[in-house]
Structure 1
Amino acid sequence: MATIFTKIINREIPAHIVAEDEHYIAFLDIMPLAKGHVLVVPKKEVDYIFDLDDATLSGLHLFAKKVAKAIDKTIKCTRVGVAVIGLEVPHVHVHLVPLRTMDDINFSRPKLKLSQEELAVIAETIRKGF
């Protein structure tokens, strides 16, 4: 059965996409730790990041770097934090979280609840950073 991320990739369910190419996609987390929290996902459905082939793994990080630079340019933050947890969805994904403090990337704290309109504005803002 396809993961929720594969359903986003296939446009079966909506997402606030900020970047995409032939192999990777980046979209806003709908339960973000901070405004501008993005998930970067390979289009190839693999559960565990270290099961990716070398080319896909390195490409994922290079794509994430481009997205992080766009977040840096457009979202007020000190820097962009990176996390790979890999337990929530059985499809590799990298979290890019705009940081002002270390606590901004604490996954045990309550998530933000943003409206679809707020998410759309944030996604458009990040897209302008490319």
Structure 2
Amino acid sequence: MASLFTKIVRGEVPAYKVAEDSQFLAFLDINPNARGHVLCIPKKEVNKIFELEEEVYQELMRFSRKVAIALEKTVDCKRVGMAVVGLEVPHVHVHLIPLNSMSDMDFSNSVKMEEEEFKELAASIHVNL
């Protein structure tokens, strides 16, 4: 069965996209740790990050770096943190989280945002690849 992220890639589930190329997609997390929390995924469904072919892993990191740079220019933060946990959805995903304190990396916390705020934020972060 396709993961939630595969359904997003296919357009079956909506997402607030910020970057996309032929191999990867970045979109806002709908349950964000902080305003601007982005997920970067390979379009091909792979369960665990270290199951990716090495070249795809390296390309995912390059893609994530481009998104993080755009994110840091857009969202007021001290830096952008990165985490790979992989327990929530069985599809590789890199969390990019704008940080102002260590608690912003605490996945038990979340920030509430309205749909219009998600739309505006996604448009302002948008990365041209």
TM range (shorter): over 0.9
Task: Give every structure 1 segment of 4 or more consecutive aligned residues whose post-TM-superposition deviation is greater than 6 Å.
Answer: none
Counterpart residue number, 2:117: 118
Measured in 1, the distance between the counterparts of 2:78 and 2:39 equals 19
Aligned length: 129
Instruction: Say if 1:71 and 1:129, in contact at 8 Å, map to a contact too.
Output: no
Q: Alignment identity in percent?
A: 53
TM-score (ref. length: structure 1)? 0.96
Amino acid at match of 1:102: M
SS of residue in 2 equivalent to 1:14: coil
SS of residue in 2 equivalent to 1:18: strand
Counterpart residue number, 1:46: 46
Instruction: Say if 1:74 and 1:129, in contact at 8 Å, map to a contact too.
Output: no
RMSD between superposed Cα atoms in Å: 1.3
Counterpart residue number, 1:105: 105
Structure 1 runs not aligned, ≥5 long: none
Structure 2 runs not aligned, ≥5 long: none
Counterpart residue number, 2:11: 11
Amino acid at match of 1:105: M
Q: What's the CA shift for 1:129?
A: 8.1
Instruction: Say if 2:66 and 2:127, in contact at 8 Å, map to a contact too.
Output: no
